[in-house]
């Protein structure tokens, strides 16, 4: 389906990003991995993807909190692949605290990674996409890009901003063969969400199962986590020609969270 295409997936050494990288590779796209982790584990992931799907898989360790490294990630990918067709802005970090005690340095880092990094990667990759007349930009936002929750000022602000950025890019690229969309997952059982469950269990003196069910009952009427595979499958669809007239959309995958 994506033979001959090339993709960058930020934050792709774990969680949602890893799942998206895998499904793009499985459908023939070369992939540039990016993210933190142990070098041996990352190299194993890279080599397994390359060998399993017989495609080129590379890795760039860019720290997306640094603007210059965001641009370097795109430029390195263009240099090594020759062009970039698909950009998935997935990398994200979180911190939970009341706004009056929210550490200013955590606010700055969340905005840098969750929002500003996407600005820098998109502005750098668009000239190449415009030149080829085809491109897909997919921003992994969140239901928290559409509604708020207490004690998540940085994350909610960044994800709302990411959805606004998605709309602007969609308008500026309309009719060019490039689309830009946001996927808005509800609760997905990633390491980021597991850490929230762990904190809840510890603070309330309950076991992990009860903490998990509390989390789901509060927000997600389906009572089930969205899976990484479901998010990845939607990202793949947005890369196909069938989705060529979907742009500027914010697509919830949230078990009914936003229907309430």
Mean pLDDT for each 10-residue chunk of the chain (260 residues)?
Answer: 96 96 98 97 98 98 97 98 98 95 98 98 98 98 97 97 98 98 94 86 94 92 94 98 98 96
pLDDT score recorded for residue 191: 77
**How high is the pLDDT of residue 195?**
86
User: What integer pLDDT is reported at residue 190 of this predicted model?
Assistant: 81
Beta bridge partners of 136: 86, 179
With beta carbons less than 8 A apart as the criterion, state whether 93 and 110 touch: yes
CB 23 within 8 A of CB 101: no
Pairwise CA distance, residues 32 & 21, whole Å? 8
3-state secondary structure of 195: helix
Domain range annotation of the chain: 6-185+227-246, 187-225
pLDDT at 35: 97
Tokens of 241: 């020609």
What's the pLDDT score for residue 117? 98
In what side-by-side order are the strands of the sheet with 6-9?
57-60, 30-34, 6-9, 86-89, 135-140, 178-185, 250-253
Catalytic sites, residue numbers = 155
How would you class 134 by CB atoms within 10 Å of its CB: exposed for 0-12, middle for 13-18, buried for 19 or more? middle
Question: Could you tell me the pTM of the whole model?
Answer: 0.95
Topology at the third CATH level for domain 6-185+227-246 = Rossmann fold (3.40.50)
115 contacts: CB under 8 Å, gap ≥ 6: 157, 158, 159, 161, 162, 165
């Amino acid at each position: 389906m994506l033979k001959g295409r090339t993709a960058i997936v930020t934050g792709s050494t774990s969680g949602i990003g890893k799942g998206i990288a895998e499904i793009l590779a499985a459908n023939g796209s070369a992939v540039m991995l990016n993210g933190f982790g142990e070098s041996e584990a990352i190299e194993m992931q890279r080599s397994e993807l390359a060998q399993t799907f017989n495609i080129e898989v590379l890795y760039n360790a860019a720290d997306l909190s640094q603007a210059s490294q965001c641009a370097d990630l795109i430029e390195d990918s263009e240099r090594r692949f020759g062009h970039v067709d698909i950009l998935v802005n997935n990398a994200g970090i979180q911190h939970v605290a009341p706004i009056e005690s929210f550490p200013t340095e955590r606010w700055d880092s969340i905005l840098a990674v969750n929002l500003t990094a996407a600005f820098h990667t998109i502005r750098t990759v668009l000239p190449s996409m415009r030149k080829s007349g085809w491109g897909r930009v997919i921003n992994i936002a969140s239901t928290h890009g559409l509604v708020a929750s207490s004690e998540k000022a940085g994350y909610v602000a960044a994800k709302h901003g990411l959805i606004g950025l998605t709309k602007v890019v969609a308008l500026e690229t309309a009719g060019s063969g490039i689309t830009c969309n946001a996927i808005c997952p509800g609760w997905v059982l990633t390491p980021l969400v597991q850490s929230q469950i762990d904190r809840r269990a510890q603070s309330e003196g309950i076991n992990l199962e009860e903490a998990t069910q509390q989390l789901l009952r509060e927000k997600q009427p389906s009572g089930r986590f969205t899976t990484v595979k479901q998010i990845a499958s939607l990202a793949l669809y947005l890369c196909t020609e069938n989705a060529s007239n979907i742009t500027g959309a914010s697509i919830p995958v949230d078990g009914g969270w936003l229907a309430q």
